[in-house]
Amino acid sequence: MTETILECAGVNRYFGALAAVNGLSFQVERGQLFGIAGPNGAGKTTLFNLLSGHVPASSGTIRFKGEEIQGLPPHRICHRGLARTFQIPQVFGSGTIEENVLVGAYFGRRERLPAFGFDRETRSRADRALEMTGLGAHRRAPAHLASVFDKKRLMMASALATEPDLLMLDEPFGGLNHGEIDDLIALIRRLHGAGLTILLIEHVMRALMALSERVLIMHHGEELAEGTPDEIRRNSHVIQVYLGRTAGVA
Ligand SMILES: Nc1ncnc2c1ncn2[C@@H]1O[C@H](COP(=O)(O)OP(=O)(O)O)[C@@H](O)[C@H]1O
Ligand SMILES: [Mg+2]
């Protein structure tokens, strides 16, 4: 039995006259790894901003676990089990890697907690996320000195520490070298294998095609195509608009 965890119906977002997301409808099943790609400016990040509540939709409905979430603030959406990373790594510069993940774990707690210090449950959530992402040994390092790869894993760990049902990753492979791409593919596979539903925006086609069960290609805010990686590779519109310009399609 499949269960739809996320359902977007006729979602629009205008910035002035620009339709950044234009009549988008799609569904994601629980446990699925759903990939999203498309040219720069296609509206992919805006779509994530609508889903996470950072930007309100102009119209349309977004249902998560059967309930409308459109219009809720980001912390309420996070508490319902939807977490994300950002295209440009966001870390708190003054803290260690561990402190950054603790803040994520704290943000994800639904209960009222003391304003100072972290309780045992928050600490154990942060510990689990650090171990899952392979950052356990780097926990005491200052976050601002971390490599690009560690900053990306740190953002993932902070999101995972909120214990989400759905994790959204915005171009996590950008700026990584070949070996790091392989390591991150393996990490995302492990998270997916553990049952997490993942929405993955990615330009690195090798990674997107290797990981995704279904792929949505966006263009000018609209759906250009949706299907399995094989269907997407063969789709003549997708080749014309997008894949034809992307080197290294695997
Ligand atoms: N806050 C904003 N204000 C005005 N225009 C925006 C804003 N955010 C995104 N856009 C525009 O919306 C379009 C889609 O952007 P974006 O979602 O970042 O695309 P992608 O992530 O696919 O590259 C672009 O034309 C971008 O300039
Ligand atoms: Mg983007």
Ligand 1 pocket residue status of 37, Cβ below 6 Å? no
Number of other CB atoms surrounding residue 76 within 10 Å: 13
pLDDT at residue 113, as a whole number: 74
Q: Assess whether the C-beta atom of 40 lies below 6 angstroms from ligand 1.
A: yes
* 13-62 pLDDT, tens digit each: 999 999 999 999 999 999 999 999 999 999 999 999 999 999 999 999 99
Atom index in ligand 1 nearest the CA of residue 221 equals 14
Please write the tens of the pLDDT for every residue from 186-221.
999 999 999 999 999 999 999 999 999 999 999 999
Q: What are phi and psi of 33, to 5 degrees?
A: -110, 110
* Atom in ligand 1 nearest the alpha carbon of residue 47: 17
Quick one: pLDDT at residue 250? 46
How far is Cα 206 from Cα 131, in angstroms, rounded to an integer? 26
Location of each CATH 3.40.50.300 domain in the chain: 1-81+167-183+198-250
pLDDT tens-digit profile of 128-173?
A: 999 999 999 999 999 999 999 999 999 999 999 999 999 999 999 9
Q: What's the CA-to-centroid distance between 170 and ligand 2, angstroms?
A: 7
Question: Domain 1-81+167-183+198-250 is in which class?
Answer: alpha beta
Average pLDDT along the chain: 93
Q: HSE (CB half, 13 Å, CA atoms) of 198?
A: 28
| pLDDT grade for 245, boundaries at 50, 70 and 90 | low
> What distance in angstroms lies between residue 40's CA and the mean position of ligand 2's atoms?
7
Residue 225 has pLDDT above 80, yes or no: yes
- Regarding the beta carbon of 44 and ligand 1, being less than 6 Å apart is answered yes
What is the rounded average pLDDT of the residues 112-133? Answer: 89
Question: In the prediction, which pLDDT does 246 show?
Answer: 57
Q: Which of 22, 45, 46, 220 to mutate to test the pocket of ligand 1 (most atoms within 8 A of CB)?
A: 46
Q: Whose CA is nearest to atom 11 of ligand 1?
A: 20
* pTM of the model as a whole: 0.94
Taking the CA of 37 as reference, the closest ligand is 1
Q: How far is the CA of 142 from the centre of ligand 1 (A)?
A: 32
Digit-coded pLDDT (tens) for 78-99 = 999 999 998 887 777 779 999 9
Residue of 65, 54, 73, 61 lying closest to 4 (CA atoms):
65
- Determine contact, residues 6/164, Cβ cutoff 8 Å: no
* Mean pLDDT computed over 3-10: 98
Distance, in Å, from the CA atom of 81 to the CA atom of 90, rounded to the nearest integer, reads 20
Measured in angstroms, how far is the CA atom of residue 46 from the centroid of ligand 1? 6
Which numbered atom of ligand 1 lies nearest the CA of 49? Answer: 17
